[in-house]
Every structure is written in C-alpha cells, then in structure tokens.
Structure 1
Amino acid sequence: MPENPTAAQDHAEQDHAEPNHAEPNPTNELSTHGVGPWPGGEEEWPQDAHFDPELLRDGDTRNVIDRYRYWRMDAIVADLDQHRHPFHAAIENWQHDMNIGSIVRSANAFAADTVHIVGRRRWNKRGAMVTDRYQHVLNHPDVADLVAWARAHDLPIIAVDNVPGSVSIETFDWPERCILLFGQEGPGMSVEALAAADAVVEITQYGSTRSLNASAAAAVAMHSWVLQWGRR
C-alpha cells in the first residue's frame, strides 16, 4: 500500500463511515447552459414545493439537467434517491488523488447509489463540479472498513484493474448490486484492496499505454454496468 503520512490525522477525524450530506441552500455553480428568470414574473411562478423562489426570480445557471431547472437542491437529491442505481463506486485515496472529483461526477451522471472514499478524509472536489452536493458520499478510514460495510450490506466488491487473472470487462457479468472499486492514480490499487475483491475486471486496451486514467476507467466501468442493468 502507498505510504500515507497523514493517515493518523485523517483517521482520527473519522472512526466510521460518515455521510457527506447535500447542502440545503441553492448552489452557486455556473454552467454554460443556464436559464434566466421564470417567464412572466412572480405571478406566473409554479407553486410546487420543489421549486426554489430564488432561482425562479434570478434564473438557474447550475449544471443540472432540464428536468431539475429551478428545483431546490434538497428536492433534487430526494428525487434522485427514488431512482438511483444499486451499484456503488469506491476509490482509494492515500495520496490526495485528483481524480476523485471526476469519479464523483461520473457516479452522479450514472446515478450510482453512493461513492465510497477509502483512506484520507479530505479529497479534491474541483473535478466534481459540485455534483458531490447531489451524490451520497461515505468515507472509510481503510480497506477493512469498506469491506466490513460491504459485507454488512451484502454487496460484492468488484475491483477494476489490469492485473494477472482479471476478467475482460466485455465478457463480465456484473452483479446488479455491487461496489466497483478503483485504485488511485499512479500507485494503482493496493494489495489489500485486490485481496478483498470478489472479482477483478480489466478494461481491454489496444494502444501502447499500460493503464487508463483512474477517472476514465471509472466512467468506462460504470457505463459497462449500466449497459447490463441500467434503466431504459
């Protein structure tokens, strides 16, 4: 396992998996696909409880699909909770991996149930583009804690790595309920994580590079799961 000089400090802040709840206030994230104030003024505002008066008044520039325009953030999270997919994504974080934010964003795009961050509690959220506010995120201090959580919830762990004995992703039958586990950029997946996996899946490559970027691999694997089990 890669060295983790700040593990003691990070782990002291968290003894068990702890959720990262969505913030209740309207977000300030910006998008090139925003909309202006609701046409017609306040007299024409919809009265449904999930609409946010501030967004109706000022416009909605958030990076959300059209269905959620002008919705309150907590209303979006509640609606997502009604149709999240039953797969989870987990990523090791021993060296403050910059890819974690992008993986959270992909997990949101594919409606993953939860993202599990294993190792350091702090992670770079820039790549998430604020999608972490809509996505359930749990922190685990180490692989053993993730494994215990997975076993308690009857979820097999499927590691994604190109190691000897791995199964090609093109022929793999994904369990409907499972945790997709990814190593961090550079060192790759830890020995402990590979040992804990119920299966290891490899993304077939055709060029000269030995491995894909961690966030790219995560997106490919999530989409592979969706092709087999996703809502139509």
Structure 2
Amino acid sequence: MTGPTEWVFGEPVGVGPWEGPVPTDPRYDPELLAGGDRRNVVDKYRYWRREAVVADLDTRRHDFHVAIENLQHDHNIGTVVRTANAFLARTVHIVGRRRWNRRGAMVTDRYQHIEHHPDIESLVKFAGQEGLTVVGVDNTPGSARLETVKLPRHCVLLFGQEGPGLTDAARKAVGITVSIAQFGSTRSINAGVAAGIVMHAWIRDHADLDAAL
C-alpha cells in the first residue's frame, strides 16, 4: 500500500517513480519504486517500506513518552500524535476511550507507537514499572513554570482535554505539574499547541540536535 497522496498548492508532494537501476536494498518498497512515493515522510525515507521506517525510528527514539486523556473524543489527539512523531517520542498513550480522532494525525500514527490505558491508574502503573516520572501539564495553582524548570529525561508528559484540562484523578497522580506562561485573555491554549510547546521544551533540555533530520 503506497498510502495517501499529500498535496501542496494543488500539486502532489513527494517523488515520482524511481529513475535508473532499481535498488535491491530490502528497505525499499517495490510498489513505491514503481509508482512514486507521495507520503508525508522526510526525504531520507522516500521509497522505504513502512516497517523499515519504523525500525529505523526505533533506533533513535527519545526517552520521553506522551499521554493524553481521551474522554470527549477530542480532535486535538491527532495533532498530539503528529507532533509526537515529529519530536520522536517513544510512545503515545491514549488514556480513557480506546477510539480516538485520527484526522489530525495525518497518517503519522503509522510510524508512531501508540498504547491504550483504560484509566490513569493503569498509566501510572506503567510509568512506575518503566522508571518514568509522570509530568502533568495544566495551568492550575501551584504548577511549576515550564520556562523555569528542566523536565525529567525519562518521563511521561500527560495532557488533559481541551478546556477542562487534566481530570482530578490525573492531577493527584502526577509527580510534578508544569504550566505554560500565558499573557492574554484566554484561560487555556489549544491542547495540541500546548503539547508541541512542552515536547519542544524536552527537546531543548535533552535531545542531540545534531541528530535532527
């Protein structure tokens, strides 16, 4: 399966059929080589099989996980998954409802490990077994400013739903809570945007920027 075609300004992105001698490297997909690769992937992975892309990403994934409570089928979850893929999170954990809105993921969920937990207690148990600090992200009183703290290297970044934020159970379960400094009139910012800001803060603290593609 070649996957959906991505379009920019009415023109397909990606590359057409392979030109020249056909490579024999098993990472390459014969169908993509013959028909072109219009997937939303970086140039390094053009014509690669999906399984080969995931295997290569698995050799470089970062030490942070992302979790989001799924109580209202929030459309932001797809955006969180897409951003987690961009920053190479180890795993995305969906807490609550198993089904989630994939539209915003733009098929990046094919390359991102995703796990389901029925409740916060299950996520916390997993984090404890893996030696991960659960970091809640919410602008509640007593939260530490994201701009002034260093996130733990081995952690789960936990986000709530758009509007209400983290549930009471989640607030009680986290190791630390951080908030994003805001200066306008709105009480909260979009959950997908917040996730991107916090993930990038982890990248600034811990990632090898020379490894960026």
Q: Provide the TM-score with structure 2 as the length reference.
A: 0.94
Aligned mates of 1:59, 1:229 — CA distance in 2: 36
- The answer to whether residue 18 in structure 2 is matched with residue 38 in structure 1 is yes
Q: Do 1:26 and 1:73's aligned partners in 2 also have CA atoms closer than 8 Å? A: no
CA distances 1:131-175 after superposition (whole Å, capped 9, x unpaired): 001000000000111111111111010001100000111111111
Residue 202 (structure 2) pairs with residue 222 (structure 1)? no
Query: CA shift at 1:27, angstroms?
Result: 2.5
The one-letter amino acid of 2:100's match is W
For residues 203-222 of structure 1, the aligned pairs below 5 Å read 203-222=180-199
Matched, 1:95 2:53: no
**Separation in 2 of the partners of 1:77 and 1:182?**
25
- Asked if structure 2 preserves the Cα contact closer than 8 Å seen for 1:31 and 1:62, the reply is no
Letter of the 1:90 partner, please give it.
Answer: A
For 1:161 and 1:206, the matched residues in 2 are separated by 15
Letter in 1 for 2:130: H
Q: RCO (CA 8 Å, sep 6+): is it higher in 1 or 2? A: 1
Q: 1:47 aligns with which of 24, 31, 34?
A: 24
In 2, Cα distance between the equivalents of 1:160 and 1:31? 34
Q: Contact conserved, 2:163 with 2:188, CA < 8 A, in 1?
A: no
* Partner residue in 2 for 1:22: none
Deviations 1:163-213 (A, max 9, x none): 000011111111111000000112211000011110000101111111110
**How many angstroms does 1:29 deviate by?**
4.7
Cα deviation code 1:35-64 (max 9, x no counterpart): 101113xxx111111000110110000000
2:125 aligns with 148
Contact 1:37–1:56 at 8 Å: present in 2 too? Answer: yes
Is contact 2:81–2:105 with CA below 8 Å preserved after alignment?
Answer: yes
TM-score, scaled relative to structure 1: 0.86
User: In the aligned structure 2, how far is the partner of 1:182 from the partner of 1:160?
Assistant: 6
Aligned partners of 1:87 and 1:179 also within 8 Å: yes
Find the aligned partners of 1:99 and 1:28 in 2 and give their Cα distance. 21
Structure 2, unmatched stretches of 5+, are none
Per the TM alignment, residue 127 of structure 1 is displaced from its structure 2 partner at its CA by 0.3
Contact persistence 1:31–1:63 (CA under 8 A) = no
Report the Cα offset of residue 226 of structure 1. Answer: 0.2
Runs of 4 or more consecutive aligned structure 1 residues displaced over 4 Å after TM superposition: none
* Structure 1: runs of 5+ lacking an equivalent: 1-24
**How many residue pairs are counted as aligned between the two chains?**
205
Q: Aligned partners of 2:128 and 2:5: how far apart in 1?
A: 37
Amino acid at match of 2:151: W
SS for the counterpart of 2:148 is coil
1:78-133: CA deviations, max 9, x gaps?
Answer: 00000000100000001111110000000000000000000000001000000001
Q: Distance in 2 between matches of 1:63 and 1:231?
A: 24
Distance in 1 (alpha carbons) for counterparts of 2:148 and 2:188: 19
Give how far 1:31 is off. 4.3
| Alignment correspondent of 1:127 | 104
Distance 1:154 1:113 in 2: 14
Which residue of 1 is the match for residue 150 of structure 2? Answer: 173
